[in-house]
Amino acid sequence: MSYPGSRLSSMRIATWNVNSVTARLPRLLAWLESSGTDVLCIQETKCAEEQFPAEELREIGYESAIHADGRWNGVALVSRVGLDEVVKGLPGGPAYDGAQEPRAISATCGPVRLWSVYVPNGREVTHDHYAYKLEWLAALKEAVAADAAGPRPFAVLGDYNIAPADEDVWDRAAFEGSTHVTEPERAALAALRETGLSDVVPRPLKYDHPFTYWDYRQLCFPKNRGMRIDLVYGNGPFAGAVKDSYVDREERKGKGASDHAPVVVDLDV
């Protein structure tokens, strides 16, 4: 059901790489209800479209749009304020191993247009996946340019698999020669911002280093050895409506947590 944008005065939007919606389902449902989130952009669903828990989400008031193939990728949008003009995939996006991976989905939710994106990891700088990552980001820039420059609040949220600056990793030296911090990746992010987008989650927030991802291994979360790679890039009308933002570190704690934390943005629209 479409939600008339003129009736909305405030809106809570979030992005979360859940690292398997099946494994995370109890936490996902509980978090949506406790956080009061209106729209959630999900990445790494790791399920086929027919396996996505649309019915469970509907029971707590959310519509779902899913783009997935049952492998390790997959993206979704869930909304309780409308879900219209859904587009699955990245228009003009490159293929990898002969197929376009399910890494992008967009929809209009109330008064805003949103994309949920799961940018390719890149694996290693010398790997074909790294070149694919840069091609994918270039295609994303072209695909969002018109909406980014438009009058409607618009944002691209998700797991970008890039730390925008050295301050966005726990130890820059530990990433020397690795993906996620290279100049070409950061240049691709800068080019995306040149379409009229900006990072609407400022640094620092509550914590000196508002990381969004911590590896499961080597006690990275307790030691706060993390990265800020889950980003919210909004156009001028979107950024101008932001009244608050935060990383929900609490959701990274405890048994059965994803290795990413939700990033939340509150809007006056």
CATH level 3 topology of 11-261: Deoxyribonuclease I; Chain A (3.60.10)
Q: Which residue has the tokens 């001028």?
A: 236
CA–CA dist 237, 111 (Å, integer): 11
Q: Model's pTM, two decimal places?
A: 0.94
| pLDDT bracket for residue 4 (50, 70, 90) | very low
Average pLDDT of the residues in 86-112: 97
Binding site per annotation, positions: 17, 44, 159, 161, 259-260
Q: What angle do CA 193, 109, 12 make, to 5 degrees?
A: 75
Which residues are known catalytic residues?
A: 118, 159, 260
Task: Give me the pLDDT at residue 71, please.
Answer: 85
| pLDDT bracket for residue 3 (50, 70, 90) | very low
Task: Give me the pLDDT at residue 262, please.
Answer: 98
Q: Which residue has the tokens 């990413």?
A: 260
User: CA 97, 102, 104, 106: dihedral to nearest 10 degrees?
Assistant: 140
Task: Give me the pLDDT at residue 118, please.
Answer: 98
Helix (H) or strand (E) holding 112: strand 112-118
Dump pLDDT digits (tens) for 214-243. Answer: 999 999 999 999 999 999 999 999 999 999
Binding site per annotation, positions for Mg(2+): 17, 44, 159, 161, 259-260
Dump pLDDT digits (tens) for 151-182. Answer: 999 999 999 999 999 999 999 999 999 999 99
Residue bearing the bigger pLDDT, 136 or 71: 136
Query: Is the pLDDT reported for residue 6 higher than 60?
Result: no
Dump pLDDT digits (tens) for 40-60. Answer: 999 999 999 999 999 999 999
User: CA 156, 162, 168, 171: dihedral to nearest 10 degrees?
Assistant: 170
Task: Give me the pLDDT at residue 208, please.
Answer: 58
Query: Is the pLDDT reported for residue 209 higher than 80?
Result: no
Average predicted confidence (pLDDT) for the chain: 94
Range of lowest pLDDT (13-17, 18-22, 208-212, 219-223): 208-212
- At 20, list the tokens: 């398997």
Residues whose CB falls within 8 Å of the CB of residue 176, separated by 6 or more in sequence, listed in order? none
